[in-house]
Amino acid sequence: MQVDSVMQQAADLRAGACSSVELTQSYLARIRQLDGTLNSLITVTEDIALAQAQAADARLAAGSAGPLTGIPIVHKDVFCTRGVRTSCGSRMLDNFIAPYDATVVSRLQAAGCVMLGKANMDEFAMGSSNETSFYGPVHNPWSVDAAPGGSSGGSAVAVAARLCAAATGSDTGGSVRQPAALTGITGLKPTYGRCSRWGMVAFASSLDQAGILAHSAQDVAALLQVIAGFDAQDSTCAEQPVPDYAAGLAGDLRGLRIGLPQEFFTDGLDAAVAAVVQQAAQVYESLGATLVEVSLPTSQASIPAYYVIALAEAASNLSRYDGVRFGHRSAQADDLAALYAHSRAEGFGTEVKRRIMLGTYVLSEGYYDAYYVQAQKVRQLIANDFQRVLQEVDLLLGPVTPFASCALGAWQQDPVQMYLGDVYTVPVSLAGLPALSHPAGCAQHGMPVGVQLIGNYWAEPRLLQAAHQYQGVTDWHQQAPDLSWIG
């Protein structure tokens, strides 16, 4: 089985050490062997993958291949894929066949990537453990009883278990960074507007951003090079030049100033996670960076602000699913009002219904000013705090999650604890900043722990460079789970 990085696979393909068809077939065989237990994929697109692999081999033979030609990847099932089911992990869209490709998908396809399938996810990206999916929970490859984090848990598990070379994800409040941290891989949430949202089914439109999950910062840089850039079909996509991310990986970290926000190291942080973050900080210091203690006082208000804004936008976005135009239609309706009510009641899961109800409440008359408007004001204060601190330092370093792992089922009876698990990731999302999670150690029980690097707007090159230099002197990103427990 080929388990090398994207960049190593690309080099092997160009050298003729293997073909894309052979690489694709090996991944498909591994999916058949392992994914019945892991449940990381909703749809496996074997015929499409083999056809795309054959086309990639033709391009390689003709000498017209690009850097990613022939690389097998997986797309989170939040991205529309023409002719293939796009379910968002929901019964509501279980029968929806997308008529077009999302921009992220079409750009990676044009670059020659091979689509192995669509990854499982929390329903409509609402969750932090990948247990709210209509298709069942995803299992962390490091432990059968552990959740992989969400909502991009399927993408993260597919990469961590070596079922694909890399995967796309989406990050609204931490949905790329959290599963990357909990499965021992690298995940990037770019600056809001860096990548097109066109064809990515919306949860919270002012927060959603396409992201990447892979083994290393170098691999992430290669995929970001393809998906980043302006898209006229997305009014939230910024007209910013796209730098050469691979070229920016070189160079040492001397002179880099890394801030450690004191609010990220409070009593709520698990001691094992805190130790890993501190060890990572010491590695960065040994590479030439200077560590500076900083403060982000308004970040402590991020959870209530985020959940007011995100749920309000979710209630608005999900109002389109009415059983009329597309998606699940109830057979129990006698009139139009009943059709709406029954279709939505049957099509949405418990967590999605909870968020729609709360979002509708904060937008209702008498509560809009008291909750939604105030949350937007807090959001601006949080963004201002980050800007103040990022004038003093180049990057921020901290934990991704307060814990090293979460047992499957632990949050289903107490969803508030799931929301509180986003405490270190949602401030970044509210501010629209880029952030990267990379593996940096293990907790006492052997589960991987990630650390989070946060940069200023459009600072993806600096994030990737720092992580790449860290990964040049450590091997946490090369660690693989023992999957012998899957019989």
Q: What amino acid positions are annotated as catalytic residues?
A: 76, 151, 175
476 and 201 Cβ atoms separated by less than 8 Å: no
What is the H or E stretch that residue 258 is in?
A: strand 257-261
Return the biggest CA–CA distance within the chain.
70
DSSP label of 195: B
Q: What share of the chain is helix, strand, coil (3-state, %, to 5)?
A: 45, 15, 40
The strand pair at 146-147 and 209-214 is best described as unpaired
Among 44, 81, 78, 55, which residue's Cα sits nearest to residue 158? 44
435 and 454 Cβ atoms separated by less than 8 Å: yes
Quickly list DSSP for 20-86. HHHHHHHHHHHHHHHHHHH--EEEE-HHHHHHHHHHHHHHHHHT---TTTT-EEEEETTB-BTTBB-
177 and 435 Cβ atoms separated by less than 8 Å: yes
Strand partners, 144: none
**92 Cα distance to chain centroid:** 22
- Whether the link from the prior residue into 286 is cis, omega within 30° of 0, is no
Token pair of 457, please?
Answer: 């707007």
